Amino acid sequence: MSVTPENFGDLSRRTLLRRAAAAGLLATPAVGLLSACAGSEPSKSDNTGGAKSQDNPFGVKDGSAVKVVVFNGGLGDQWAKEDKVIFNAKHPNITVNMSSTQKIKTEEQPKMATQPSDLVMNSGADIMDRSTLINEGAIEPLDDLLTAPAWDSEGTVADSLLPGTVTDGTQNGKFYVVNVAYTVWGNWYNAALFKKEGWQAPTNWDEFFALAPKIKAKGMAPYVHDAAHGYYPRWALFASIWKAVGKQPVIDIDNLKDNAWKADGIVAALEPWEKLVKDKLLLPGKLDHTQSQQAWLDGKAAFIQVGTWLKNEMTATIPPGFEMTLSDYWSKPGDKAAKDVFASSGEGFVVPSKAPNKEAAKEFLRAILSKAGSAKFAELTKSLASTKGSGDNVQDTALASANTLMKSGSTDLISFKFPDYYADLDKESQNLAEELMAGRLTAQQFVDKMQAAANKVAKDSSIKKQTRAA
């Protein structure tokens, strides 16, 4: 599709890590606290509010304070500190108490029913399950944020966002999660190495398997991935499924339609991954995300699959002359959606329903989504923000390759929704992805087990069902 940097977006790590390992809010000791919120109306803010205006649409009160918690992962947290400066330039009398952590669920979930932070970036491996937060009334609907004036541009906040950002943050017909990053996923390689060796980056599986022996002859593994966290390989597996069968079968999967996982083409979509493992084309070892990324940077493997937060996460150890370049996930002959690209918004902020200063939390979100804030985000992270135009003035080869990939894509973006809908099914898909990539499952066994897991959720009347239309 014809897309310029201002028209595409996440750096999602659940999305990005948004869809990370979010198993079981209800399985934690904080269940009693969170459940106390269930069925209750969102609490009133303790802030009596200030005068509402174009520059203060939520009526934030001078002299108040807002507590902001940022996930400090692959994107770091410097971009959020810049947002604090932007916010205080307009609201100098509001105190912003900002902290950073990687233990979001561990530190923030126990507070949800008592005295939570005002604004929480719910991301990373220790993420709170979104559906549980929503179903128990623990986080605030933010539809009024979408209709508020944009911070420093014409129109509303919704008008300023990249395609898919509102949909990605919407559940049960309401907007709950403000994804501030826009990720593009695919297979990364070192363009400098490929030029030196005279290799052409493959565009399909046949080309990859033809190139693999040449890569091995140089003492490199053709491929490496995070083998410690199941959501990493799952991204690649699900991208292959979508490319093979197209959008509607994936919608059927998300909607728990009978035998949706048995649709024609799904097993075949996963068989190249099974072959990659069986042919010993993976770098050995159960490496985690940073270990696998470092192995790739060290020249131990030719390709790695991950999202566009990669450069920022590994910036300190990128070798001189390394040309980090993103290419699309490989397709097969006959794939129905070979040109569809895996990209979405992620790194989601939520406002707890019992937050004492929800007005200031929403106002801080306006600052994050501002043109100034999103430009700083792209500059500092080398990734796109979910606000249009964030990458307009950033000169970076990794970001440019992501933009090129988006330009060559079709109008549909690859997306699976069931990880957002059902925590247990999400976790099972991660476990099974690990098993497939470890050679302990075949493609057929993976599909059979996913269907069984989906059947279990579909038949459980205690689980609130979600429906995806598009």
Q: Is 393 exposed, middle or buried (0-12, 13-18, 19+ CB in 10 A)?
A: exposed
Give the three-state DSSP class for 200.
Answer: coil
Query: What average pLDDT score do residues 354-371 get?
Result: 98
DSSP codes joined into one string, 384-422 = EESBTTTTTT---HHHHHHHHHHHTS-S-EE---HHHH-
CB contact set of 198 (below 8 Å; sequence gap of 6+): none
Query: What average pLDDT score do residues 144-154 get?
Result: 97
| The predicted structure's pLDDT at residue 410 | 83
CB contact set of 20 (below 8 Å; sequence gap of 6+): 13, 14, 123, 124, 125, 127, 229, 231
| The predicted structure's pLDDT at residue 393 | 79
The amino acid at residue 264 is D
Q: Which two tokens stand for residue 283?
A: 């770098």
pLDDT (tens digit per residue) in 92-146: 999 999 999 999 999 999 999 999 999 999 999 899 999 899 999 999 999 999 9
- Cβ atoms 368, 83 nearer than 8 A: yes
Query: What average pLDDT score do residues 337-352 get?
Result: 94
**Angular region, 117: left φ>0, alpha ψ -120 to 50, beta rest:** beta
Q: Is 467 exposed, middle or buried (0-12, 13-18, 19+ CB in 10 A)?
A: exposed
In this model, does residue 13 exceed pLDDT 60? no
Please say whether the dihedral angle defined by the alpha carbons of residues 348, 437, 306 and 241, taken in this order, is positive or negative: negative
Q: State the angle between helix axes of 231-245 and 423-437 in degrees (0 to 180), rounded to the nearest 10.
A: 90
| The predicted structure's pLDDT at residue 49 | 66
Q: Which of 17-26, 33-42, 344-353 has the lowest mean pLDDT?
A: 17-26
| The predicted structure's pLDDT at residue 389 | 84
Query: What average pLDDT score do residues 227-247 get?
Result: 96
Question: pTM for this one?
Answer: 0.72
| The predicted structure's pLDDT at residue 50 | 78
Q: Which residue has the higher pLDDT, 308 or 48?
A: 308
Q: Which of 18-22, 150-154, 183-187, 342-346 has the lowest mean pLDDT?
A: 18-22
Q: Which of 88-97, 160-169, 320-329, 416-425 has the lowest mean pLDDT?
A: 160-169
In this model, does residue 270 exceed pLDDT 70? yes
In this model, does residue 3 exceed pLDDT 70? no
Kind of pairing, strands 170-171 and 174-175? antiparallel
Q: Which of 6-10, 78-82, 97-101, 427-431 has the lowest mean pLDDT?
A: 6-10
Q: Which two tokens stand for residue 132?
A: 């549980």
In this model, does residue 27 exceed pLDDT 50? no
Q: Distance between CA 392 and CA 382 in Å, rounded?
A: 12
| The predicted structure's pLDDT at residue 36 | 41
| The predicted structure's pLDDT at residue 179 | 96
Query: What average pLDDT score do residues 403-413 get?
Result: 81
Cα–Cα separations (whole angstroms), residue 251 to 139, 170, 241, 469: 26, 16, 12, 7
